[in-house]
Amino acid sequence: MTLLVTGGAGFIGSHFVLDWLAMSDESVVNLDKLTYAGNAHNLEPLTGDRRHVFVQGDIGDAALVGALLAQHRPRALINFAAESHVDRSIRGPGEFIQTNIVGTFQLLEQVRSHWGQLPQAEKSAFRLLHVSTDEVYGSLGANDPAFTENPRNEPNSPYSASKAASDHLVRAYHHTFGLPVLTTNCSNNYGPMQFPEKLIPLMIVNAQAGKPLPLYGDGRQIRDWLYVKDHCSAIRAVLDRGQVGQTYNVGGLNEKANLDIVHSVCDLLDELSPRADGQSYRKQITFVPDRPGHDRRYAIDARKIERDIGWKPAETFETGIRKTVQWYLDSPRWVAQVQSGAYREWVATQYVQA
């Protein structure tokens, strides 16, 4: 038995592949384009493991995807492959349209063709699990109820609009063609091996380098924070027990403002790796002009996945953030490897101080 995982060298995808092979002997074929956010170093523990087959390539490459499906005959495909950073989508939306919409379409077409030719037993057992985001739902007011699985999608950035479009395509291929799909919409992930353009690793890396800790606007934007390994366990549960055609919200039950998140990171660094001058890392916090169209609040109602599948997160924010900060402190080689010249240039131009 085999899984085909797309985007399996990215942050969430690599954690999923590592956790899967730590718990199962079922092989994984891992297709990743290795863009700036795909990091082959994340998969170093699998070097020499014959259960892991890595293929560098694009989900939009129909011939390649079709060949992998025909050769390996996976029982399921889990699609992590996506451009996923709002800031980058504002500066350059084209890549997001190409990967998240056109790429997902090409992937669906190849899966539909492959699935339609399978023997009935394999056809009935096959699943395509599409990993998406809560950002497709739009923005909430301070007192609005949390997102459920059935709201009207109101994406507000090129990134979230492209992911909403991919969700709609997945849904359409189920209702029109009968493709056995599952969709998960997760809240903000954090944890080890996250590319340091995202909030938490950016704060850790900048703090250790003595650089400003840039926060958009007033820092009071609220997100629900989900530890990455909890997200991976949710995906395994949905793959195992999810109902075909259904969507499941995956949340961390940790609704917090960005400023509070940064304070938590600074306080942990003060404890685990104090500044030489004895001052708090909070002194490095710098407020910068807000990004265009910045959503104010996301919140996940994850009662469906707990009720129907029996999943809920194992980590509190306090336990997860401590593990995360400690990992970055213990992994200077990894941090150095991902901080290429292109990354440093992008960060320097993105967070312009007021």
Residue 153: how many other CB atoms lie within 10 Å: 16
pLDDT tops 70 at residue 192: yes
Residue 289: how many other CB atoms lie within 10 Å: 12
Confidence of residue 352 (pLDDT cuts 50, 70, 90): very low
Tens of pLDDT, residue by residue over 3-28, are 999 999 999 999 999 999 999 999 99
pLDDT for the residue numbered 342: 58
Tens of pLDDT, residue by residue over 139-191, are 999 999 999 998 678 988 999 999 999 999 999 999 999 999 999 999 999 99
pLDDT for the residue numbered 353: 44
Domain boundaries, the chain: 2-191+225-255+294-314
pLDDT tops 80 at residue 85: no
pLDDT tops 90 at residue 212: yes
CA 262 to each of CA 198, 218, 321: distance values in angstroms, whole numbers, following the listed order? 12, 12, 11
Give the helix ranges, DSSP H, for the chain: 11-23, 62-72, 86-91, 94-96, 104-116, 120-125, 158-177, 199-208, 228-241, 258-272, 303-308, 317-330, 332-338, 341-350
Fold that domain 2-191+225-255+294-314 belongs to in CATH: Rossmann fold (3.40.50)
Flag the least confident range among 88-97, 226-235, 245-254.
88-97
- Which residues are known catalytic residues? 134-135, 159
Flag the least confident range among 35-49, 249-263, 298-312, 339-353.
339-353
